[in-house]
Amino acid sequence: MSIEKTLSIIKPDAVSKNIIGKIITRFEDNGLYLVAGKLLHLSDDDAGGFYQEHKGKPFYEDLIKFMTSGPVFIQVLEGEDAITKNRELMGDTDPTRAIKGTIRADFANSIDANAVHGSDSQTSAIREIEYFFKAEEVLNK
Ligand code: CMP
């Protein structure tokens, strides 16, 4: 076990439902600390650069359209095994397959409007945090 940082995005569906706080509470209640955060309305270029690994996949165009449809809350979470813990708390990408009690099972509508994104590995966490935050914007506890 080690202390890690991970990138989390509260997506436009969840922001428009006014449940940013409810989602952050899930993280806080499970030992993850918010060490950076910003509310942004992503441009096509912002979203395209972030999701570059999905370029060419059948869902890519819909993904960019959705992620630019309204503001998102982007945050860095820190804690023991933060990357895995965040993914467990989010649940399956497809909310119909997510276990009850996970964020996506409880708050998401569809695989596109699935409430949250979380880094899937140490390498993507570093890239994704640097994509949205300058070093001085991230608290070093
Ligand atoms: P996210 O974790 O943000 O990473 C890419 C997003 O693409 C994913 O969540 C889903 O919202 C969306 N998506 C839509 N269809 C699929 C699919 N078939 N497989 C994976 N991701 C998908």
Asked whether residue 23 carries a pLDDT value surpassing 80, the answer given is yes
117 is annotated as an active-site residue: yes
Q: Kindly state if the Cβ of 85 falls inside 6 Å of ligand 1.
A: no
Task: For 30-66, write each residue's pLDDT tens digit.
Answer: 999 999 999 999 999 999 999 999 999 999 999 999 9
- In this prediction, residue 141 has a pLDDT band, given cuts at 50, 70 and 90, of confident
Nearest CA to ligand 1 atom 2: 117
Cβ of residue 124 lying under 6 Å from some atom of ligand 1: no
User: pTM higher than 0.75, yes or no?
Assistant: yes
90 C-alpha to ligand 1 centroid (Å): 13
Going from the C-alpha of 1 to that of each of 11, 21, 85, 141, the distances in angstroms are 29, 27, 11, 18
| Mean pLDDT of all residues in 63-81 | 98
